Amino acid sequence: MVAGPAWWERAACAGAPLEIFFEDYRARGNSRAAVLCASCPVTEQCLQDAVRTESQQYAGPWGFRAGRTASQRRSYGTLRRSA
């Protein structure tokens, strides 16, 4: 198991099967991942981590993370870098 940041332990998805984040996440509010993200206390930390790691090529922009689809995260990252 890979050790991660301390906030991972507080994530609503801690222990959830990874595949739920790669289901048809375009359904947004109806996917199992969206339901977990909606109740998560660390969504902002997750979003910042997703944007950082995806921009550094550690992870591709796939799946549902931080309550957003890959294209929504890319938009957020672009806006954040231009601010």
Q: For the segment 22-41, what is each residue's pLDDT rounded down to a tens digit?
A: 876 555 556 888 889 999 99
Q: Using 50, 70 and 90 to split pLDDT, how confident is the model at 44?
A: very high
Three-state SS sequence of 50-79: HHHHHHCCCCCCCCCECCECHHHHHHHHHH
Is 12 within a domain? no
* Predicted pLDDT of residue 58: 54
- Tally the domains of the chain: 1
Is 41 within a domain? yes
Is 65 within a domain? yes
Is 9 within a domain? no
**Parent domain of 49:** 18-82
> What's the rounded Cα separation, in Å, for the pair 72 and 10?
23
CA-derived radius of gyration, the chain: 12
Residue 54 in tokens: 């995806």
